[in-house]
Amino acid sequence: MSLNYCLLVLAAPVSGHTSLTAARFGAALLSRGHTLGRVFFLDNGTSNGLASAVTPQDERSPQQAWSELANTHGTELVLCVSSAVKRGLLDAAEAQRHGFPAATVHPGFILGGLGLLVEAMQSADRVITFGAAG
């Protein structure tokens, strides 16, 4: 039976490797024939979408791991707008609104309100949370 999943990611990429585990979990569920309509990044989790984060060459980039899901399976990657803006993650519209020269959100991600999490939970068979201490 195919299930519809929603992931909530609260862990920042710099705090352990929880967010990479979450991205691998996303890929694994898709390869088992399930669907992943939306991943919602909240609180420290929003820094997964920071375009200017540079991952050392011998490490895996969380931005890339997540965008692969978006590109191949159309999974929507939503950063909670209030958590994101606080952390300097701005899309083109927010950058313009706050007077910054350029967007800092990776193009694979979009900003959105908590309503998008609520909506995803409503239609999901499974909601899986990934958090990290610190």
With residue 130 as reference, give the H or E element that holds it.
strand 126-130
**Residues in the chain, total:** 134
Binding mask 67-106 for another protein (x = CB under 8 A): -------------x-xx-----------------------
CB atoms within 10 A of CB 41: 31
Q: How far apart are CA 53 and CA 61, in angstroms?
A: 9
For the CB of residue 102, give the shortest distance to another protein in the complex, in Å.
25
For position 41 contacting another protein by CB under 8 A, the verdict is: no
- The residue from 8, 22, 80, 120 that is catalytic is 80
Q: In what order do the strands lie in the sheet containing 35-41? A: 109-112, 76-80, 35-41, 4-9, 126-130
The residues of the shown chain that bind another protein, judged by CB under 8 A, are: 3, 5, 8, 10-11, 16-18, 21, 24-25, 27-29, 31-32, 34, 42-44, 80, 82-83, 113-115, 117-119, 121-122, 124-133
Instruction: Give catalytic residues, as residue numbers.
Output: 80
